[in-house]
Amino acid sequence: MLRNARHGKILEIIEQKEIETQEELCEELAACNYSVTQATVSRDIKELHLFKVKGVKKRFRYASIAETEGGISDKMRALFRTCVLDFRAVGNLLVIKTLNGNGANAGVVVDRLDYREVAGCVAGDDNVLVVCETPEGSQVVLRRLQALVKE
């Protein structure tokens, strides 16, 4: 119960404030009467699938994927549109080229979309390798992702 409440508070904090470091998040939680260690916050960040995006006031800030009934949030769609440079399908594989440092962000979006044609994906610094079950499936995923970028 305490963990779920803490997770909810973390999501609330990062939605309201630009939090750049785990230490800052620990301080914010302490101000809300949550006694946590940096190790606990680190685990929470992993469990909540938080990631860093460019901040307005700070260089980077933590962000989350707010699941919606349609798959991914508008923020994640915008992030995907902004960071994806190109797609290339080769057989049952799909390579997504991204801006430097954004491969993981794009990979999270692909994972969250949960396309049945996708067996899995591996993200690098500036690319994502998407493995589809069939070459036809990679073409279907390619068209869907291209449409997502054009929205």
- Measured CA to CA in angstroms, residue 35 lies from 22, 27, 40, 49 at distances of 14, 9, 10, 21
Give the pLDDT of the chain (151 residues) as one tens digit per residue. Answer: 588 899 999 999 998 899 999 999 999 999 999 999 999 999 999 888 787 877 788 888 888 755 433 467 778 888 899 999 999 999 999 999 999 999 999 999 999 888 889 999 999 999 999 999 999 999 989 999 998 888 6
Q: What is the pTM of this model?
A: 0.56
Each domain of the chain, given as residue ranges in start order, spans: 2-63, 74-150
On the CB side of 143, CA atoms within 13 Å amount to: 6
**Amino acid present at 18:** E
Res 69: pLDDT: 32
Assigned architecture for domain 2-63: Orthogonal Bundle (1.10)
User: What's the CATH code, domain 74-150?
Assistant: 3.30.1360.40
44 is written with which tokens? 């929470």
